[in-house]
Structure 1
Amino acid sequence: MPRFDLPVDELRTYRPDVPEPDDFDAFWADTLAASRAVAEPPRLTRVDSPLALVDVIDVEFSGYAGDPVKGWLLVPAGATGPLPAVVEYVGYGGGRGLPHERLGWAASGYAHFLMDTRGQGSSWGTGGGTPDPHGTGPSHPGFMTRGIHDPAEYYYRRVMTDAVLAVDAIRSLDVVDASRVAVAGMSQGGGLALAAAGLVEGLVGAMPDVPFLCHFERAVGMTDKDPYSEIVRFLSVHRDAGPTVFRTLSYFDGVHFARRATAPAFVSVALMDTICPPSTVYAAANHHAVGAEVVEYAFNDHEGGLGVHWQRQAAWLAERLDAFADDTAA
């Protein structure tokens, strides 16, 4: 796939005016307050595993509206903490999978929590275990248009609330240092990391990797790939629904969450990405309130940097934690 977006020099300064709803902050404050009001302490169940050097814990925490959400917590074997933690979110269609599939953070001395994504986990990987019990109106197959007639009913209202409450749950654990928590994720997971970083204070950093769910109007008009194309196909049938659809999406745009971030971000972008066009990633990164370092992968599609990028994330987060320790000591 040849490059199809703006020239690189223009991407690096691309900072479009992305309109946001006047009640954006009130919408999210009310949403989170309602779910936090009914949240219960997370339930932890230690799991027998062949992983001799990592303890595996099956976690169930309260997400949106108190719904139970699953996740894996991996910590170095025998660790009592308090450890720095990484809360990670999964890409579109995937679930939390199996514990041995993501060992990098725990093997590096972190508490690592991998959140399941409600209703997903059946498109790739090794599955998930969290249903989405809330119905929606007419929608195209997939998740992008579920409840899209109303931001209060939209699917990502529930998932982004889950992402925030996952941080709450992990911060409540004795094994975790609540002041040293970062969020991360690839694609959909990167979009959720942006959302969490815009809605949660006191994180040490966010690591959105080729993030999805950014600058919706540009993305929907630029790529013919799913998941954004689910919205295109919906609108090709519901021909007069565009204003309603894009109003709903404006409550969930990574650009607006980046504007509210209180911790630095380490963002990746692939310049040949046909799923999350580079300009949509830069739109969020260039609006970031406290600064986003962007790593470009010039000849990659949506796979981005994969293992190479994880090494860079690990180095960046270690530097952030060192800086945090120095600030705390001072």
Structure 2
Amino acid sequence: MRSQPVPGGTPEELTEYSLGALLVPTPEQPEPDDFDRFWQSTFEEFGTGAVAWRTVREGDATPTHRVSEIRFDSSANEPATAFVMVPHAASAIRRGLVVGHGYGGRTGPDVERVPADTAAIFPCAPGTHPDAPSRFPALPAEHVLAGIAHRDTYSLRFAAADVWRAATVLLDLAAPTAGALDFSGSSFGGGIGAMALPWDARFRRAALDVPSFGAHAIRLTRRCTGSGEAVRTHLRTHPEARSTLDYHDAATAARRLRLPVHVGAAVLDPAVDPRGQFAVYHALTGPRRLTVRANGHIDGPEGRLADALALQASIDFLALPDDRLLGETSTGPL
């Protein structure tokens, strides 16, 4: 283990695990008997039926896409923000893409993620956009604790439900995406995607990069610089909240995923424990592909390079022909 000081005097743990150890699946952790029932009922409540939305402003178009900011009805019973990119010509649309975000939130679309033949929606999780008032706080250390006293009120439940609702809006906006709908998410968005996708048969494929919320029994044993530290500290005085996390575990949910999934997992990450990231990958039971990152959530040139390579790996995976998705592939460190 290596540590270095960060602003505020808190030590930043840079725990680097051996790839050999991370590639060995950890024993499956116990899960709630009604895990499936909880999420299926959540999907029935929030993921079916029409979703109202409206355009609030048009953005600067790209050579291939119109760009707009919309508001849609969140599962949290409040307006949610999303950014939408739709090809200028409807005849050009071949795929749809829902893109999750990290705990830094988003203020616009990531245009580099969207190929010319793809319509995409970039939803903001409840509470994470400054122009959409919410009962959920924006700060990651507060957002990750909001509603944690009960599984039905937890912020992560509504963030996952809004993935389904954003997909409904995208299909309404760009009907040709039906049948070829993909998901891409990193960090917070990767973990939320793992929770949301098993219950929504509309999705075809997914890319989860440095996914958070995997294997809470493991991630809570280690100090970190991410939102997990707020949860770890909270549980010291509120141990009763631990059961809520069992219903919001990305690795537990990933056991239910049958669609092809690409996971980018880091061997060194001060914010999201690598063991939790790899636990999400190991839990997958359908076609899967692993890209091993040298690091995650690291500032500086090394971190930016790892992020760029991982993004390209995700884009490439989502663009693969279906007959290239059989079996399992592992690549070396990025």
TM-score range, shorter chain: 0.7 to 0.9
> Secondary structure, in 3 states, of the residue corresponding to 1:252?
coil
| Structure 2: runs of 5 or more not aligned | 3-13, 326-334
| Matches of 1:186 and 1:142, distance apart in 2 | 19
Give the drift of 1:143.
1.4
- 151-160 or 80-89, larger mean C-alpha shift: 80-89
Q: 1:301 to 1:70 in 2, by over 3 A?
A: closer
1:144 & 1:189 partners in 2: Cα distance? 13
Q: State the AA in 2 paired with 1:98.
A: G
Q: What is the alpha-carbon distance in structure 2 between the residues aligned to residue 186 and residue 45 of structure 1? A: 26
Aligned to 2:318: 317
- Which residue does the alignment assign to 1:115? 123
Counterpart Cα distance in 1 of 2:39 and 2:132 = 23
Q: Secondary structure at the match of 2:247?
A: helix
Q: 1:248 aligns with which of 244, 250, 259?
A: 244
- Per-residue displacement from partner, 1:99-130 (whole Å, max 9, x unpaired)? 4xx11233442112111121124xxxxxx433
Distance 1:25 1:312 in 2: 31
Aligned to 1:40: 51
Shift in Å at residue 85 of structure 1?
1.3
| SS of 1:10 mapped into structure 2 | helix
- 1:21 correspondence with 2:22: no
The Cα shift of 1:202 comes to 3.9
Q: Deviations over 1:246-293 (max 9, x none)?
A: 210011110121111121111111111111111111111101121321
For 1:279, the equivalent position in structure 2 comes to: 275
1:1-330 alignment, distance < 5 Å:
2=2, 4=15, 6-36=17-47, 39-44=50-55, 47-49=58-60, 51-95=62-106, 97-99=107-109, 102-121=110-129, 128-133=130-135, 142-236=142-236, 238=237, 241-242=238-239, 244-299=240-295, 301-302=297-298, 303=303, 305-320=306-321
- Take 1:186 and 1:270, find their aligned partners in 2: how far apart are those partners? 12
Distance 1:154 1:27, change over 3 A: same
Q: State the 1:158 CA deviation.
A: 1.2
Is the CA contact 1:144–1:231 (under 8 Å) kept in the aligned structure 2? yes
1:192-247 per-position Cα deviation (integer Å, ceiling 9, x unaligned): 221222221142211111111111121121133221110122234x1xx32x2221
**Cα distance between partner residues in 2 of 1:235 and 1:155:** 16
Q: How many residues align?
A: 308
State the 1:315 CA deviation. 1.7
- Secondary structure of the residue that 2:69 maps to in structure 1? strand
Query: What is the distance in 1 between the residues matched to 2:234 and 2:319?
Result: 43
Structure 2 vs 1, CA of residues 289 and 52 (structure 1 numbering), >3 Å: closer, same or farther? same
Q: Distance in 2 between matches of 1:69 and 1:301?
A: 26
Helix, strand or coil at the partner of 2:283 = coil
RMSD, matched Cα? 2.7
1:269 and 1:160, CA in 2 relative to 1: closer, same or farther beyond 3 A?
Answer: same
Gaps of 5+ in 1: 122-127, 325-330
Alpha-carbon separation, structure 1, partners of 2:143 and 2:104: 9
Deviation at 1:57, TM superposition (A): 2.4
CA distance in 1, matches of 2:65, 2:53: 20
How much has 1:319 moved relative to structure 2? 0.9
CA contact (8 A) 2:98 2:166 kept: yes
Structure 1 residue 8: Cα displacement: 1.6
Q: State whether residues 90 and 174 of structure 2, in contact with CA within 8 Å, keep that contact through their aligned partners in structure 1.
A: no
What is the TM-score of this pair, normalised by structure 2? 0.82
Residues 81, 132 of structure 1: alpha-carbon distance in 2 compared, 3 angstrom cutoff:
farther
